Copies of this chain bind each other. A is one copy, B any other.
Amino acid sequence: MTTIKDVAKKAGVSVATVSRFLNNSGYVSTEAAQAVTVAVEELKYELNPIARSLNTKKSNLIGLILPDITNPFFPELARAVEDVALTYGYTVVLCNSDEDPEKEKNYIETLKKKYIAGFIVTSNQLDAPHYANANVPIVALDRTINEKIPTVSSNNKEGAIMGTNALLERGCKHILFLRGPEKLNPANDRYEGFMEAIQRSNVRYQVVTCPFHFADSQKIVECILQENPLIDGIFASSDVSAAGALKAAGTAGKHVPDELQIVGFDGVAMGAMLSPGLTTVAQDVYKMGAVATRVLIKRIENKKIEQNFYEVPVKLVIRGTTRSVVE
């Protein structure tokens, strides 16, 4: 194998000069730079990437910290991050944190010892000291954060207004809103959007907090449909909770969409597989992941980023859980 010594010998310069040139870490004369370039090419010298890590204190690893890859929102995100990272020569380390601050801290400390180049993080802990003091580029995804960390998010509030209006335009008179966990920023933005749209109307509504979890949502909605049989529209803050609501409608004997209309939020592939197919406010998850990765790589490479907050548009996808618009 060709070593840096062979390159130095061939170029007629010192090993230190070759190292400075290859690592871009100090003055090298034009003549020496040319000689080294020629020697590297002739000898087909490849700088060992781990040796390069040691010298530049950077690897080309990106850490992706997310709550749980088995939540149907995250695989598409992970796919986008890996696709974009790959085109820039980076590889992605997968970290499931379960939103546990200790696990997150441990990932950051362990991976920093491997000179991780940066992190993409979906977490509620971004105010925690292990992020503030991480001293490594970070981009936040799907969570609003302290203003020091660039953030990529869907237009959640706007999306919730769209989803609410979809039910209003289709004649719903008693709407149930399944609010997501109160500690999650995107869930709160969706709640705000719902409140803004519903309060502009004269329609009755009810808000209940419901986890982004199928079986829990099914139980909650079954209870509520029994208590309040007038409900004719449900807007769920996630597709998984909308799937629970649809199942509950089935057990309650409510026909969807004739007696009860349902709108979800997320746009995951599962929504199309339900019967009827789920009308939903679809996030462009792939784009979110792709934008976050591009922003992170710019930060890693010390390039200027234009803004600190990127909002990716959502769109309404109409399927079978809603009727035609009332003229």
Contacts and interface: CB of A to CB of B under 8 A. Distances in A.
Interface of A: 46, 48-51, 53-54, 59, 61, 64, 68-70, 72, 74-76, 78-79, 82-83, 91-96, 110-111, 113-115, 214-215, 240, 243-244, 246-247, 250, 269-270, 272-275
A79 B68 contact: yes
Contact of A49 (B114, B244, B273): B114
Contacts of A95: 82, 91
Contact of A273 (B59, B61, B115, B243): B243
Contact of A214 (B50, B54, B114, B273): B273
Contacts of A92: 93-94
4 smallest CB-CB distances across A and B, nearest first, come from A243-B273, A94-B94, A69-B75, A75-B75
B49 A51 contact: no
Contacts of A94: 64, 78, 82, 92-94
A59 B246 contact: no
A55 to B, nearest CB: 10
Contact of A91 (B93, B246, B274, B275): B93
B83 A76 contact: no
B273 A250 contact: no
Nearest to A110: B91
A70 B59 contact: no
Tell me how many chains of this kind the complex includes. Answer: 2
Contacts of A273: 214, 240, 243-244, 247, 270, 274
Contacts of A113: 46, 48-50
B59 A269 contact: no
Contact of A82 (B82, B96, B111): B96
A89 to B, nearest CB: 8
Nearest to A215: B272
Contact of A50 (B64, B69, B83, B114): B114
Contacts of A115: 50
Contact of A69 (B69, B244, B250, B274): B69
A111 B110 CA distance: 19
A270 B275 CA distance: 12
A12 to B, nearest CB: 27
Given A50-B53, A113-B49, A250-B275, A96 B79 contact: yes
A244 B275 CA distance: 10
B270 A114 contact: no
Nearest to A273: B243
Name, among A64, A76, A94, the residue most crowded by chain B CB atoms within 10 Å (CB to CB): A94
A83 B69 CA distance: 11
Contacts of A244: 273
A247 B270 contact: no
A88 to B, nearest CB: 13
12 contacts: A46-B113, A48-B54, A49-B114, A50-B114, A69-B79, A70-B79, A70-B269, A72-B72, A82-B95, A214-B269, A243-B273, A246-B275
Contacts of A61: 93
